[in-house]
Amino acid sequence: MSEEKIYEKFGLHKNEYVNQYFFGTYNLGDRQFYAEFLVPLLLTFCFIWLLPKYIFIHAFIKEREYKQQKLKVLINDDIEIQKHREKLASVSKKTLNAEKQVAKQEQELAEIDPTKLWEEEYQQFIKSGLISSLTDIVDSVYNHSGCTKSYSDENRDWQEVDIDKDALAIAHSNGLINISNGTISLTDKGRYFVKQGYMDKLP
C-alpha cells in the first residue's frame, strides 16, 4: 500500500505502521502475542522436529517393512513355482524314459517274434468289429488274384470287384495289406490276421 493510504486510514507513516503492527512489543497476557508469534513458532517446531522424529521416520520404516514383506512373498512364490516346475520336469522325464523303455522292449520283442505284438493288435481288431472288413479283401486276394478293379471270369467277361474303400483304408493303414498297381497283397501281419480269423471259426 502507498504511504498516503496508510496515513489516511491509520494516521501513521508507513514506517510507524510497520513498526507498530509487526515489530511492536507484545504482552504475554495478550492473545495476539500467542496468535501471531507463539503459535507459528510451535507449529514450526512440530513440523521440523516432532513430526519427522516421531511420525515420518516411523512411517518410512513401516513402509520399508511392508515392501520387504511383499518382496519376500514374491520370492517365496517364485521358489515354490520353481520347485513345482522341477518336480513336473522330473516326472515328465521319468515318464518319457519309461515310454522309451517300453518302446525299446516292444521293438526287441517284435524283432524276436512279431506275432506276440500282432496277437494283441488282432484281439483289439476283434473287439472293434473291424475284422469283418477283411472278408472282401481275402476273397479278392485268394479268388481274383488280389484285383481291386476288375477281373475276367471263366467266360472272359470283365466284372467289377466290389471292395469297400473304407475296408481297404483300414486294412492298409493297419499294415495288413500292400496295394500296388491295382493289386492287393497280404503282408505277414495280414496273413497272421487271416489265419487267426479262420482258426477262431474252427470248432
Q: 11-30: per-residue pLDDT in tens?
A: 777 777 766 666 555 555 56
Q: What is the pLDDT of residue 150?
A: 59
Read off the pLDDT of each residue in 76-83 and give the average, rounded to a whole number.
Answer: 88
Residues 8 and 85 in one domain: yes
Instruction: Tell me which of 82, 112, 142 is where a domain ends.
Output: 112
Instruction: Tell me which of 112, 147, 179 is where a domain ends.
Output: 112
Confirm if 137 and 171 have CB atoms less than 8 A apart: yes
* CA-based nearest residue to 166, from 199, 122, 133: 133
Domain count for the chain: 2
Instruction: Tell me which of 83, 112, 141 is where a domain ends.
Output: 112
Give this prediction's pTM.
0.39
Confirm if 183 and 146 have CB atoms less than 8 A apart: yes
CA distance 55 to 42: 17
Residues 23 and 119 in one domain: no
Cell of 165: 474303400
Q: What is the pLDDT of residue 24?
A: 56
Residues 18 and 108 in one domain: yes
Sign of CA dihedral 98, 103, 105, 106: positive
Ordered DSSP codes for 1-42:
--HHHHHHHHSS-HHHHHHHHHS----TT-HHHIIIIIHHHH
Please write the tens of the pLDDT for every residue from 150-177: 555 555 555 556 677 787 888 888 888 8
Q: What is the pLDDT of residue 36?
A: 66
Q: What is the mean pLDDT of the chain?
A: 76
Residues 52 and 139 in one domain: no
Q: What is the pLDDT of residue 152?
A: 57
Residues 2 and 61 in one domain: yes
CA distance 13 to 195: 134
Residues 106 and 139 in one domain: no
Q: What is the pLDDT of residue 203?
A: 43
Residues 64 and 161 in one domain: no
Domain that holds residue 168: 115-201
Read off the pLDDT of each residue in 104-109 and give the average, rounded to a whole number.
Answer: 70
Residues 48 and 29 in one domain: yes
Residues 76 and 144 in one domain: no
Q: What is the pLDDT of residue 30?
A: 61
